[in-house]
Each structure stands twice: as structure tokens, then as C-alpha cells.
């Protein structure tokens, strides 16, 4: 049995902010942001929009796409670095909102790689027989942990959620291989200086961009080669790479390093900015709904985030 994607969904906050609008609040410009990142817009959550509300919307749309009901679900794994509360898990709020009464529900924290980690956990549980139908979600409200006085970071991020339905099914489709990594030695390159836990402080995101960029290109190209080798596929077999949408320059540099055609890389960073754990499922849902990703396509999902954590998954859609 394999874990097969049966449906995708996504959700974005109501408020869409352009670079020009952001420049009225921050010492920046549209030209500066686009040249360095490729970002043109991002969505920012209003006071009544939370990580759980966005996650619920994305999950419901994925259920609708799969033609399934909430009562069919026996597992929810939600990846987020911005939970509604320190505890309980935001996944339990989504469970209640959807009406998935009694199913297993928990959060995974691996920042921008969180969706890949959550996907791996859910896929493993399905293969082990402890779950049959799972909702895997990446959801974030990163705008609430940004330092809006730091123009080098606050322009990079947005809010949103993406979700997939995974179901146990025999056949050629499904998750073929996943590889995950972490290296805590690089904590101080991308982190939040306080917040949840025992610090008793309200934290803000801090990042050393150039160093993160260098690690991202090396780690992502390496893990893509690694996961393809494990799956028995080659780079030429890949129909689409669905990467973490952090920075267009990282996406282009990684593609060049792999000798991969840029036409095979799904890009939504210009419209959504970096939505952390939500970015991969958001990009996947966008490409599924606009018709680029079709049944039978070979996909590679990949991401790297704070920790550092990074990973990739090969999936026959």
C-alpha cells in the first residue's frame, strides 16, 4: 500500500499586499524587493484570521477535491511554526472545526520544511496501517512574528495554508521516497529570538540571508539527488519540482545546479512570498488547479528551513 494524494486545497488571507503598499510602511521599494527575491505580493492575516482558520479552509477544500467527508479522516498532521497556542496542538482545533471527531491530530514543527516532515510522518503511518486517510497541512501566520522595522526580513514573508489528502491505495501512484535532514549547528542563521517555551518573551524572526541562501542551494540540490536515487528515478523523469517558495534566486540557482529546466519548476513566490510550511502545499494546489500537474506526473517536493531542516519527497501524482 502507498500513500496517494487524493485531493489538494489552499487558503489565503483576505488582505493582499503589494510591494508598493509595503513601501509606504517600510523603507523599501518594489524594485529592491523584486530584484533580490522575485516577490511582488503577499497575503497578511487580519485579526480574525488564524493559523487554524486558514488550515481549516485549506483542509476543507482538499476534502472537497478528493470527494471525501471529514468522517472519512483518521489522521491530521499539521506543520506550523506559528500555532494558535503553545498547546494544545493547532491540529486539534482543525479537527474540531472540520468535525473529524476522534481522529488522531497533532502538530509538527520544522519551520519551512515542516510540510515535508508532516508528509513523511503521515505516509509512514499509512504504510504501517495505523491510518488510512490523512489530512496533511502546512499553515502559517508568519506576519505575527515579523519585525516590521527590519526591512531585510519583513518583506520576504506572507501568510497562508495548503493541504493534501493522503489515502492508502495499491498501485503505481503515491509517495515513492522521502529524505529528511536536520543540522542544529546553524540555529543562529534563521531563528526567532524568544516566543513559546520557557523564555517568557515575545520573539521576532531573525535571519542572516546570504548565509541561508548558500546553505539552501547546496542542501536542496543534494537532497533532490539523494531522494531521486532512493526512488529509482532520474532528474530527466521528473515532470515538476514543487519547491519551498523562499526566494526566486534560490529556485533558479538550485535548478541550474541540478541542470534542471526552469520550465519544470513550479513558482508562486511572486504571488505569495515565503509562507514557510504552507509554501509547498500552496504551490502544489496552485499547479493542480491551473492544470499544470496532471494524474501520473512525477513530482519532487523539496524545502529547507530554520534549524536547519531540509528534505524532499518523490511522488507519483
The set of catalytic residues is: 112, 244, 274
- Cell output for 79: 506543520
Nearest to 282 by CA among 255, 264, 303, 263: 303
Buried b or exposed e, range 30-59, using 16+ CB within 10 angstroms: eeebeeebbbbbbbbbeeebbbbbbbbbbb
Rounded-to-integer distance, Cα 247 and Cα 219, Å: 15
Distance CA 310, CA 28 (A): 30
Contact present, 305 and 276 (Cβ < 8 Å): yes
Q: 247, exposed or middle or buried, with CB in 10 Å at 0-12, 13-18, 19+?
A: buried
C-alpha cell at 27: 523603507
- β-bridge mates for residue 155, sequence order: none
How many Cα neighbours within 13 Å face the side chain of 152? 8
Strands 174-182 and 309-316: antiparallel
Report the run of H or E that residue 59 belongs to, with start and end. helix 51-66
**296 close to 65: Cβ distance less than 8 angstroms:** no
Q: Which three cell numbers stand for residue 110?
A: 520544522
Distance CA(115)–CA(204), nearest Å, equals: 22
**CA angle 136–61–98, rounded 5-degree value:** 70
Backbone phi, psi, residue 281, to 5°: -65, -30
Amino acid at each position: 500500500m502507498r500513500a496517494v494524494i487524493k485531493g489538494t486545497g489552499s487558503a489565503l488571507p483576505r488582505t493582499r499586499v503589494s510591494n508598493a503598499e509595503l513601501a509606504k510602511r517600510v523603507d523599501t521599494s518594489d524594485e529592491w524587493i523584486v530584484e533580490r527575491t522575485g516577490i511582488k505580493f503577499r497575503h497578511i492575516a487580519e485579526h480574525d484570521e488564524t493559523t487554524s482558520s486558514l488550515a481549516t479552509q485549506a483542509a476543507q477544500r482538499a476534502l472537497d477535491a478528493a470527494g471525501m467527508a471529514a468522517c472519512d479522516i483518521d489522521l491530521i498532521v499539521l506543520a506550523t511554526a506559528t500555532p494558535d497556542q503553545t498547546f494544545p496542538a493547532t491540529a486539534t482545533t482543525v479537527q474540531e472545526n472540520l468535525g473529524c471527531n476522534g481522529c488522531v491530530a497533532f502538530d509538527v514543527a520544522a519551520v519551512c520544511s515542516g510540510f515535508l516532515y508532516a508528509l513523511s510522518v503521515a505516509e509512514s503511518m499509512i504504510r504501517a496501517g495505523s491510518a488510512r486517510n490523512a489530512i496533511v497541512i502546512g499553515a502559517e501566520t508568519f506576519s505575527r512574528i515579523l519585525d516590521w522595522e527590519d526591512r531585510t526580513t519583513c518583506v520576504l514573508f506572507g501568510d497562508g495554508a495548503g493541504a493534501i489528502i493522503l489515502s492508502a491505495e495499491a498501485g503505481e501512484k503515491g509517495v515513492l521516497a522521502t529524505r529528511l535532514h536536520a543540522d542544529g549547528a546553524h540555529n543562529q542563521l534563521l531563528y526567532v529570538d524568544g516566543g513559546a517555551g520557557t523564555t517568557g518573551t515575545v520573539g521576532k524572526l531573525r535571519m542572516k540571508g546570504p548565509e541561508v541562501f548558500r546553505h539552501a542551494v547546496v542542501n536542496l540540490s543534494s537532497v533532490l539527488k539523494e531522494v531521486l536515487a532512493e526512488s529509482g528515478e532520474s532528474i530527466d523523469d521528473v515532470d515538476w519540482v514543487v519547491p519551498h517558495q523562499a526566494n526566486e534566486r534560490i529556485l533558479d540557482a538550485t535548478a541550474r545546479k541540478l541542470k534542471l529546466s526552469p520550465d519544470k519548476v513550479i513558482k508562486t513566490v511572486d504571488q505569495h512570498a515565503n509562507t514557510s510550511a504552507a509554501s509547498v502545499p500552496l504551490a502544489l494546489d496552485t499547479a493542480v488547479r491551473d492544470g499544470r500537474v496532471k494524474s501520473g506526473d512525477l513530482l519532487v517536493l523539496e524545502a529547507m528551513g530554520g534549524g536547519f531542516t531540509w528534505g524532499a519527497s518523490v511522488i507519483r501524482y
